[in-house]
Structure 1
Amino acid sequence: MSSQFRKAGVLGALSVVLLSSAAAAENAVDVSVDRASILRAPDGTSTVIIGNPLIADATMQKNGVLVITGKSYGSTNIMLLDGAGAVLSETLVSVRRAQDNVVVVQRGAKRESFACMPRCEPVLAVGDSPDSFSATAGQINQRGGMSTGREN
């Protein structure tokens, strides 16, 4: 194999990789934990597949609106299929921490998160110590139960 032919093959393969990366970048969405983002699903979408449902969730609404909600930090993909199972689109979803007024307090190995707007109140945050996370989750669930007439 001539060196010129090898160079052309390498350049061709590199251009395919670069084009694939560019296409993937066009089909990407960033969302924060506990926040939602909206995408438009292609016509004929009948199935939504989430690569890792621990990182993000997706719900199909009327008129092809797809609501993507960040659940935990990381990245995953969402694939949309038609009725025959053909892939209509694939989107990379990156979930990050919200850029709001969250203060993280580290006391030795114990970590707690607070939303400070303007008063600091505990919030659920992935990575907080189990006792802090459980106590905050319990209070949120109890309050939610009271608002629906159900007491825990």
Structure 2
Amino acid sequence: MPSSGVVMRATKGLCMLFAGLVAFVPLAVQAEDLTVEVDHAVLLRLDRDADLVHIANPAIADISVETPRMMFLIGLAPGETGLYILDRDGNELIVGDILVTPNTSHEVTLNRNIQELTYSCSPRCVEVAVSGQSNPGVANTSTAGAGEQAGLDLE
């Protein structure tokens, strides 16, 4: 039967070996949902160098890589898309969803009958285009009157 000193040294050696192996296991930085406003940026700092950066829908968000460990996530249009950042060995550094929200902190919306106007007020109010509205300040119109558009039988 081995002495207690031999068992202690073997246990200590195994613990050090296990700790060394754990240090080399790549750990993915699992991103919570990242949120950024349209026309704003969020700074991302990584613990290791990124080799591949991919945004699933580049019409919603973009990324500006400053260094392999520092990049800016930029909101382009309201929506949700995926972000994938891998190191040169293909290990995941960040994998998650990006939620791009409209900047409504200084926004005012006016409703006049069927016309809706949206203004950004910081510090002066300026009319802005709203997603789904082709021209700012122009309501969806057709040859039918408002009653007919609402499905009312006016005859």
* Same fold per superposition (TM over 0.5): yes
Backbone CA RMSD of aligned residues: 2.9
**TM-score, normalization by structure 1:** 0.59
Question: Radius of gyration: which is bigger?
Answer: 2
- 1:52 aligns to what? 57
Secondary structure in 2 matching 1:61: strand
2:86 to 77, 81, 86: 81
Offset at residue 49 of structure 1 (A): 0.5
Pair 1:126-2:112 in alignment:
no
CA distance in 1, matches of 2:87, 2:29: 20
- 1:148 aligns to what? none
- 1:27 aligns to what? 32
2:44 to 30, 39, 45: 39
- 2:72 aligns to what? 67
2:120 to 111, 115, 122: 115
Identity %: 27
Contact residue 36 and residue 101 of structure 2 kept, 8 A: yes
Question: Where in structure 2 are there 5+ consecutive unaligned residues?
Answer: 1-27, 138-155
The 1:66/1:91 distance shift into structure 2, 3 A limit, reads: farther
Secondary structure in 1 matching 2:135: helix
Q: What's the CA shift string for 1:26-71, capped at 9, x where partnerless?
A: 5321111111111113422111100111221111112621211111
CA distance in 2, matches of 1:49, 1:40: 16
Question: Where in structure 1 are there 5+ consecutive unaligned residues?
Answer: 1-22, 134-152
- 2:144 aligns to what? none
- Number of residues of Structure 1 aligned to a counterpart in Structure 2: 111
Normalized per residue, which structure has more helix?
1
Contact residue 52 and residue 88 of structure 2 kept, 8 A: yes
The 1:118/1:44 distance shift into structure 2, 3 A limit, reads: closer
- 1:139 aligns to what? none
CA distance in 1, matches of 2:32, 2:64: 18
For 1:51, the aligned partner's letter is: A
CA distance in 2, matches of 1:83, 1:95: 28
Secondary structure in 2 matching 1:126: coil
Q: What's the CA shift string for 1:106-140, capped at 9, x where partnerless?
A: 4455443211234311234323x21228xxxxxxx
